[in-house]
Amino acid sequence: MKTALLSVGIDIGTTTTHMVVSRLTLENQACATRIPELTIKERQIVYQSEVYLTPLKDQAIDGDGVAQLLEKFYKQNSLDARQIDTGAVLITGESARARNARAVTDAIARLAGEFVVESAGPDLESALAARGSGAVEYSAKTAKTIVNIDIGGGTTNIALIACGKIIKTLGIKIGGREVKLAWQDKMLAVTEATEAGVNLLQECNITEQTITLNQAQRLGEEQAQRLCFALGLANTKALHSNHDKRYLEQLTLASQALTPDALLSAQDVDEYWFSGGVAALMEQLHSIDYIPFNDLGYFFAAAIKQQADNWPIPIKVVDSAIRATVIGAGMHSLQISGCTIDASAALLPLKNIRLLKVSVKGNLQSYIRSALSTLAIDLEQQTKPVALVLTDLSLTTLNYSSLQSLARSLAEVIDGLPEPIIIITKIDIAMSLSQILKGLIPNKRIITVDGIDVEDGDYLDIGLPLRNGDDISSAAIPIVVKTLLFYK
Amino acid sequence: MSNNQSNLAMLTPARLGVGRCGVRPLTDSWLSFRADHAVAVDAVLSEVSQSFIDGFITHYDLPVVTTLAGDRQNFVVNPPLGKKLSDEVLAKLKSKMPSDMIDVQIVISDGLSSFALEENLPDLYPMLLDGLNQAKITTGQTVVVKQGRVAVADQIAYTAKARLAVNLIGERPGLSSASSLSAYLTYNPGPTTISSDRTVISNIHKSGTPPLEAGAFIVKCILRILDKKMSGVQLQALG
C-alpha cells in the first residue's frame, strides 16, 4: 500500500534556479461510509538545493548548465531519477521569454525523469506560488481571504484566494532584477538594466552609471510604489505626474484586471502574504555591505517592508519564500483522480498522452475529427493513445438513458483510436460510463478517469494506482497534467 | 457577518450565521427552516407514490410487500417491526424466487424516505442490473418492501438462498437532503447477521454520490465481497 509520493520541482527563474524534493502524503478525506476521496494531506520538504544563479549563455538559459546543477543536487542527496514519482520543471518569470525554453526542458528531461512539465505564464505561476506558499491551504482552513504576492527577479505574480479557491491571478512585470547593481569604491554601479529598468532609472532622474545608496533606495521605493499601485493600494497621485505613459497604462490595466469588483479593496482582504525571491529578502534586511544577487531586489524588499508595515492589514512573509512556486508546482501538477476510476493496472503507467477536448453537446464524431485536425493528428498514422476529455457534461441533466446514448456514440467514434482509449471527465461518472462502454465494446481496452481538471493541459501522464491491493474502493491514480504554455 | 464568516457559511448547507431578531430567528431563516423540516417530515411519513408504483415498479414487474409494521404510523412508532416479514408473505415471495442458489438478492426498502427511492432508483437500479449481468453475477427476484428497515433484507435473502443481500434503502432525512439513499451489502445474510457484518455506501443523491456512479460502484463492491467472502468491518480491516 503506497500512500506517499516523492515529487521533484525545479524552478528556473529570471534570477535564480533551485530544486526541491517533497514527500506528499495522501489521505482519504471522506467519512467511512462514503466513497473515498483521496487528497494530498501533507507535504514535507525532504531535500532542497541551494539557490543558484540561473546559468545563462548568450542572453539565454544554458540548458547544459541547468542539467549540471540538477545532477549535482541529485548526487549530493544520493537521489536517483527513478525514485521520483512525479514532478515539474518550471521556467518562470522573464526566463520563460527566452526563445530556448523548449531546448532547456529537453536538456533536463533526462534528469527530471519523464515528469517534465514545461510551463510558464503569469496565471499558472501565480496559482503555483499561492499553493506553494501555503496561502491556499491556510485560506481553506480559516475561510480567510488572502492575497499572495510572489515577487521574483523579473515578474510579480499575484493571486487572490478566498476559502481556499484561487479567485483571480495576475502577473506584472515588476521584479528585482530590472536593475543590476554592484559596490564600486563605496558607490553603487549600475551594471545592467532591462528596458523597464531603464525607465525606472529615468523616472528617478538617474543618469549616471554610479549612484549613491540614497538613490538606490529611491529606486526601490519607486518599484514598491508600482507594486502598490498594481495592488490598488497606493496613493496614485505621484504616479500621474511624470511617468512613462506606457508603463502607467500597463499598471492601470493590471490593477483593473485584478479589481473590477473591488474584490481587492482593503476591507475584503484579511491578510497579504509575500513569497518569492524578493520577499525572502524582506526578512533579511541587515547590513548593506553585500547586495544579494547584485540587483535591485534588496532595495525593493526594504521599501515594500516599510510601506507594508503601515498597511491596516496584516502581512506575512512565508517560510521558504523563494521556493513557493516550485513547491506549488510539485503539488499542483499532480492531481489525484476521483476514486471512481476504472483502469486496469496492467495498462499503466502511460506517459505523454495527447489531450483532445471534445464537447458532448453536438456530434461527437465531427468534434473529434476537428479536434484531431486542429492538432494535425492523422488518425490512420496515430499509434500512440490519445485522451478524450469530455466537456459540457452536467450531472443535473445526465440520466441512465442519456448516459447510454452518450456511451453509444462514444463507442462508435473511439473504434478507430489506438488502444488503450482514455476518457476523462470532470464530473463523477467514470465508473458508470466505463461499465456501459464495456458492455458495448467488450474487447476494447478503455481507461476512464474522473475528478480531473485539465482545462489548461495539453498532455497527460497517468501513473500507477496508488494502492496495489485489490480494494477498488480506495484505489486512486496520480495524474500529471502538462502544459506547453510559453510566453508569446 | 464578517467576510470571513460569510466565507465559512458558503462552505456548507448548514445554517451558519443566519442572524436573529431579539431571541427569535429572522423571518427568512425561520421560514426556510420550517420548509426544510416539513420536507423531511413528509419524507418520513410518505408512502411510495402511485406514480412510482405505476412507473418504476410496474416497469420492472417487482412484487411489493409490507413488513409486520403494517402501516406508516405503526412503523414509525414500533421500528423493530420493520425488520420482519410475516411467514405468509415470505412463503408467497418464495414461490416467485428461483429454486437454485443465487449470488445476489436485491431488496428495495422505503426506510425513512420513500423520496430517496423515487429520485435515485431510475438511474441507479438499471446501472446495478447491467453491471451484475456483465459480470455474470446471478440475481433473484428483486423485492420492494414497504415500512422496511435494513435487516429485512437478511430474512428475504436467507429465504432466497442468496450469498449476498443488497438493501437499497431511504436514509433518515436531514434538513439539507430528504432524498438520500444508502446501499447495505451483507455477505452470507441470515438470522445471526449483526450490523458490523454490513458494508454500506451512503449519501447517494444528486449532490452526493450521483446515482448512476453509485450503481456502478455498488457492482464493484459486490464483486469484491463475493471474491473475499466477507463484508462489513471484517472486509474493511483488509485495507
Domain A125-321, what architecture?
2-Layer Sandwich (3.30)
Q: How many CA atoms lie within 13 A of A58 on its CB side?
A: 3
Greatest mean pLDDT among A217-231, A331-345, A355-369, A464-478: A217-231
* Residue A473 in this model has a pLDDT that exceeds 80: no
pLDDT above 90: percentage of residues in chain B = 84
Closest to B214 measured CA to CA, from B153, B171, B175: B171
Q: How far is B24 from chain A (nearest CA, A)?
A: 27
**B8 at interface of A, judged by CB pairs closer than 8 A:** yes
- CA-to-CA distance for A41 and A38, rounded, in angstroms? 9
Which residue in A33, A428, A438 is closest to B201 by CB distance? A33
**pLDDT beyond 90 at B233:** yes
Which residues of chain B neighbour A32 with C-beta distances below 8 Å?
236
Write the CATH number of the domain with boundaries B45-237. Answer: 3.40.50.11240
Mean pLDDT taken over chain B: 93
CA distance A139 to chain B (A): 10
Of the partner residues B127, B209, B238, the one whose CB lies closest to the CB of residue A34: B209
Read off the pLDDT of residues A391-446 as tens digits, 9 standing for 90 and up: 888 888 889 999 998 899 888 888 777 888 889 888 888 889 999 999 999 888 88
Q: Which residues of B touch A438 (CB under 8 A)?
A: 134
Q: What's the pTM?
A: 0.75
Query: In this predicted model, what pLDDT tens digit does every residue of A194-224 receive, in sequence order?
Result: 888 888 898 888 888 888 888 999 999 888 8
Q: How far is B177 from chain A (nearest CA, A)?
A: 15
| Residues of chain A positioned with their CB less than 8 A from the CB of B4 | 142-145, 270
Residue A236 has a pLDDT of 40
pLDDT at position A342 is 63
Compare CB distances from B131 to A396, A400, A435 and report the shortest one's residue. Answer: A435
Write the pLDDT tens digit of every residue in A49-74.
888 888 888 777 888 888 888 888 88
- Residues contacting residue A299 through CB under 8 Å, at least 6 positions apart: A216, A217, A219, A220, A221, A223
Q: Is the pLDDT confidence value at B181 over 90?
A: yes
How many residues make up chain B in this entry?
A: 239
Distance, in angstroms, between B105 CA and closest chain A CA? 21
Helix (H) or strand (E) holding A443: none
* pLDDT bracket for residue A265 (50, 70, 90): very low
Q: Between B4, B203, B236, which is nearest A34 by CB?
A: B203
Q: Is the pLDDT of residue B120 over 80?
A: yes
Q: What is the DSSP letter of A342?
A: B
Please judge whether B209 and A436 are an interchain contact, meaning their C-beta atoms are less than 8 angstroms apart. Answer: no
B122 part of contact set with chain A, CB < 8 Å: yes
Nearest CA in chain B to A428: B213
> Once rounded to an integer, what is the mean pLDDT over residues B134-157?
96
For A271, the grid coordinates are 491578510
Instruction: Determine the average pLDDT of the residues in B3-7.
Output: 72
Closest Cα in chain A, distance from residue B205 (Å): 11
Distance of CA A338 to the CA centre of its chain: 21
CB A214: neighbour CB atoms within 10 A? Answer: 8
Q: Where are the beta strands (DSSP E) in A29-127?
A: 38-48, 52-53, 56-57, 60-61, 86-91
* Tens of pLDDT, residues A87-139: 677 777 666 556 666 677 677 766 665 554 555 566 778 888 898 899 998 99
Q: Which of A20-24, A85-89, B70-74, B186-190 has the least mean pLDDT?
A: A85-89
Pick from A306-315, A326-335, B78-87, B143-152: least confident: A326-335
Chain A contact for B95 (CB, 8 A cutoff): no
- The Cα–Cα gap between B187 and B162 comes to 9
Rounded-to-integer distance, Cα A447 and Cα B17, Å: 44
In a mutational test of the B interface, the residue from A3, A28, A33 whose CB has the highest number of chain B CBs within 10 Å is: A33
What pLDDT is recorded for position B186? 98
Q: What ipTM did this prediction achieve?
A: 0.87
Can you give the pLDDT at residue B18?
86
CA gap B95, A131 in Å, rounded: 63
Residue of A nearest to B11 (CA): A163
**Chain A to chain B, count of Cβ pairs less than 8 Å apart?**
96
Phi, psi of A91 (to 5 degrees): -110, 110
**Mean pLDDT, chain A, whole residue set:** 76
Q: Per-residue pLDDT averaged across A452-460, rounded? A: 71
Q: Tell me which chain A residue has its CA closest to the CA of residue B123.
A: A400
What is the band of B82 on the pLDDT scale with cuts at 50, 70, 90? Answer: very high
pLDDT, residue A82, reads 73
Ranges of each domain in chain A? 4-120, 125-321, 340-479
Measure the CA–CA gap between B102 and B166, rounded to whole angstroms: 13
The closest alpha carbon to A172, from A237, A126, A219, belongs to A126
- Band of pLDDT at residue A345, cut at 50, 70 and 90: low
Q: CA angle at residue A480 from A72 to A354, to 5 degrees?
A: 115
A439–B123 CB contact, under 8 Å: no
How many C-beta atoms lie closer than 10 Å to residue A216's C-beta? 23
- Whether residues B212 and A403 touch (CB distance < 8 A) is answered with yes
In tens, the pLDDT along A273-291 reads 999 999 989 887 767 777 8
Evaluated on CA atoms B92, B93, B95, B100, the torsion sign reads negative
For residue A189, give the C-alpha cell. Answer: 554601479
Residue of B nearest to A429 (CA): B213
Residue B167 has pLDDT above 90, yes or no: yes
Interface of A with B (CB under 8 A): 1, 32-35, 142-145, 162-163, 267-268, 270, 340, 395-396, 398-400, 403, 427-432, 434-436, 438-439, 469-474
- What pLDDT is recorded for position A115? 52
* CA–CA separation, A300 and A220 (whole Å): 4
Residue type for position B166: V
The edge-to-edge listing of strands for the beta sheet with A210-211 is A179-184, A187-193, A210-211
Question: Which residue is listed with cell 548593506?
Answer: A288
| Chain A contact probe: residue of B6, B213, B229 with most A CBs at under 10 A | B213
Predicted pLDDT of residue A260: 34
Do B220 and A473 lie within an 8 Å CB cutoff? yes
State the CB neighbour count (10 A cutoff) for residue A79.
18
Residue in B closest to A398 by C-alpha: B212
Segment B127-152 mean pLDDT: 96
Q: What pLDDT score was predicted for residue A331?
A: 66
Nearest CA in chain B to A402: B123
Cβ of A435 and B10 within 8 Å? Answer: no
| pLDDT (0 to 100) of residue A475 | 62
Residue A398: which of B182, B212, B221 has the nearest Cβ?
B212
Residues A133-168: pLDDT tens digits? Answer: 999 989 988 888 898 999 988 888 888 888 888 887
Q: With contacts defined as CB-CB under 8 Å, which chain B residues touch A268?
A: 3
Return all residues near A157 (Cβ < 8 A) that are at least 6 apart: A122, A125, A126, A129, A149, A150, A169, A170, A171, A276, A325
Residue of A nearest to B204 (CA): A34
Q: Are strands A156-162 and A315-317 parallel, antiparallel or unpaired?
A: unpaired
Task: Give the pLDDT band of residue B194 (cuts 50, 70, 90).
Answer: very high
Taking contacts as CB-CB distances below 8 angstroms, the residues of chain B near A27 are none
3-state secondary structure of B32: helix
DSSP state of B232: T
* CATH architecture group of domain A4-120: 2-Layer Sandwich (3.30)
Residue labelled with grid coordinates 527563474: A13
Contact B85/A at CB under 8 A: no
Among A174-178, A463-467, B15-19, B212-216, the range scoring the smallest mean pLDDT is A463-467
Q: How far is A18 from chain B (nearest CA, A)?
A: 36
Q: Å from A34 to nearest chain B CA? A: 5
Q: What is the pLDDT of residue A96?
A: 59
Is B233 part of the contact surface with chain A (CB cutoff 8 Å)? no
| Alpha carbon distance B129, B143 (integer Å) | 14
Residues A222-249: tens digit of each pLDDT: 888 888 777 766 444 334 444 445 555 5
pLDDT at position B79 over 90: yes
User: d(Cα B82, Cα A409) in Å, to the nearest integer?
Assistant: 45
Look at B167 and A304; give whichever has higher pLDDT: B167
pLDDT band, very low/low/confident/very high, at A38 (cuts 50, 70, 90) = low
- Integer-rounded Cα radius of gyration of chain B: 20
With contacts defined as CB-CB under 8 Å, which chain B residues touch A428? 209-210, 213
Domain ranges of chain B: 45-237
Q: Where are the alpha helices (DSSP H) in chain B?
A: 3-10, 27-45, 50-52, 58-59, 72-77, 87-96, 114-134, 152-159, 211-228, 233-237
Cα separation values, B195 from A212, B109, B154, B190, Å: 80, 17, 11, 12
Sign of CA dihedral A248, A249, A254, A257: positive
CA distance A20 to A44: 10
Chain A's closest residue to B136, CA to CA, is A439
The verdict on a CB contact (< 8 Å) between B4 and A270 is yes
